[in-house]
Amino acid sequence: MNSLRVIAAIFMKDLRVEWRHRETLAAMCVFGLLVVFLFNFAFEPAGEESLRLLPGLLWIAFAFAGVLGFNRSFAAERENAALEGMRLAPVDPGAIYLGKMLANLFFMGIAEAVVVFAASLWYNFSFIPALGWFTLSTFFCTLGYVAVGTIFAAVAANTRMREVMLPVLQFPVAIPIFIAGVEASAGALKGDAPGDYASWIKLAASFSVIFLVLSYLLFEFVLEE
């Protein structure tokens, strides 16, 4: 079977599973909203201050919502030994990784849109003027975050206490992408010239490409029995 078809098949399977029980996405969105909600009581930001705190707030919400989703994506595979089934299939293990990664990226995108919408509403902040650059920078940073998150979730699925193990493994490695995400979205939301923060988007893009390729190659070892 052609790798692209494997990727598409895994991606569609994850979407279909999610469509039937709607657990992961709901958990990610609600969790993301709770972070934004709690943040309000922790700092009560208003006016200028909310603009200064918003990029960090958004990325904290994205990071925690993401960890929740990535954990589910492999926990579900393990419950019914579905991962063993995939391992037995005569396909490229890297393609399985890319399929799972795309599904996670899709769910992250939806959860991020919900969080951004809520933040815009609750903090009276309009994303419309900066939407293009904000979306572009968030896309590349999310891609990098999901790239490392998916492979670490597959590693953490083999451990006791995987809910703890995943953030312990993932957050230190995702720090560069987290910083780039906060810096680039801060630049975009403040309305700076794109040239001022383009280097962060480039950093996120190169991080994404390098970790996608590395994870694609290493995933074989994660699946190996």
Partner 1 sequence: MKKAFPQTVHLIVTLAALLVSLYFIFLYAPQEATMGEVQRIFYIHVSSGNTAFVAYFLTFFGSFVYLWKRNESADDFAYGAAEVGFLFCTCVLVTGPLWAKPVWGIWWTWDERLTPTFFLWLLFVGYLMLRSYVIAPGRAALLAAVVSTLGVVDVVFDFLVIRMKSYRGQHPAAVMGGGENSGLDPRMWVAVFVTFAAFLLLFSYLVRQYMRVAALRREVSRLRRLSDSSSGA
In the complex, which residues of this chain contact partner 1 (CB under 8 A)? 148, 151-152, 155, 158-161, 165, 168-169, 171-173, 175-176, 179-180, 183, 199-200, 203, 207, 210-211, 214-215, 218, 221-222, 224-225
Minimal distance in Å, beta carbon 29 to partner 1? 28
Distances (CA, A) of 90 to 1, 100, 220: 8, 17, 12
Residue 34 vs 175, nearer CB to partner 1 = 175
DSSP string, 135-147: HHHHHHHHHHHHH
Minimal distance in Å, beta carbon 168 to partner 1? 5
How far apart, in Å, do the first and last CA atoms of the chain sit? 22
Minimal distance in Å, beta carbon 210 to partner 1? 6
Residue 41 vs 221, nearer CB to partner 1 = 221
Minimal distance in Å, beta carbon 152 to partner 1? 8
Token output for 83:
């991962």
Residue 17 vs 218, nearer CB to partner 1 = 218
Contact 177, 144 (CB under 8 A): yes
Residue 90 vs 172, nearer CB to partner 1 = 172
The Cα–Cα gap between 136 and 181 comes to: 11
88 Cβ contact partners less than 8 Å away, ≥ 6 residues apart: none
Minimal distance in Å, beta carbon 178 to partner 1? 9
Minimal distance in Å, beta carbon 221 to partner 1? 5
78 Cβ contact partners less than 8 Å away, ≥ 6 residues apart: 157
Minimal distance in Å, beta carbon 169 to partner 1? 5
Residue 25 vs 188, nearer CB to partner 1 = 188
CB atoms within 10 A of CB 72: 19
The Cα–Cα gap between 150 and 136 comes to: 21
Residue 68 vs 156, nearer CB to partner 1 = 156
Residue 69 vs 181, nearer CB to partner 1 = 181
174 Cβ contact partners less than 8 Å away, ≥ 6 residues apart: 63, 144, 145, 148, 149
